Amino acid sequence: MTSIIDEPGVEIVKVRAMRERDIDAIVRIDAVASGRPRPRYFELMIAREVRPTALQMSLVAESEGRVIGFVIASLYYGEFGMTEPTASMEAIGVDPSSRRRHVAHALLVQLRRNVAAIGATTIRTEVQWSDFDLLAFLQSEGFAPAPRLCLERKVDSGE
């Protein structure tokens, strides 16, 4: 699967299925945003998403043969009491030199196409409450607060 996203007012971006060899570019792009490299996290995520038996949901964007963005997503069937298949977007990133060029938009256009093609109707993700830039971008892409609450509890090592 390779798509060329060409919408009015949007630069042409090539979007394709993620491959294991994309790991270095993905770690580099994420390290800029997160402030630290997380190679093991992405090795595990990519290995899970690109194995031959997995339904391919994770994508990269390329320009001139170089990875400039990525989205890692998975398909779930009924987790947390949901009865319909849903996609979970676990990570998204764009190379700083390619930001404001609609790369993330192109990735999400193709992700929505893939999700719709398999019959899922929802993409879910989590965002840091204080990440206003990402929240604004996701809102511009049609994301809104879900009617569910994400709960967490700190675990003491002595319990």
Q: How many CB atoms lie within 10 A of CB 36?
A: 7
For residue 30, tell me if it sits in a domain: yes
Q: How many CB atoms lie within 10 A of CB 103?
A: 26
For residue 156, tell me if it sits in a domain: no
User: What CATH number did the domain enclosing 22 receive?
Assistant: 3.40.630.30
Residues 13-29: pLDDT tens digits?
A: 899 989 989 999 999 99
For residue 127, tell me if it sits in a domain: yes
For residue 93, tell me if it sits in a domain: yes
Q: Has residue 6 got a pLDDT over 60? A: no
d(CA 147, CA 126): 13
For residue 133, tell me if it sits in a domain: yes
Q: Has residue 44 got a pLDDT over 80? A: yes
For residue 40, tell me if it sits in a domain: yes
Residues 55-99: pLDDT tens digits?
A: 678 999 998 889 999 999 988 876 666 667 889 999 999 999 998
pLDDT at position 84 is: 79
For residue 48, tell me if it sits in a domain: yes
Total structural domains within the chain: 1
Give the pLDDT band (50/70/90) at residue 140. Answer: very high
Q: Domain residues for 110?
A: 2-140
Question: Could you tell me what percent of the chain has a pLDDT over 70?
Answer: 85
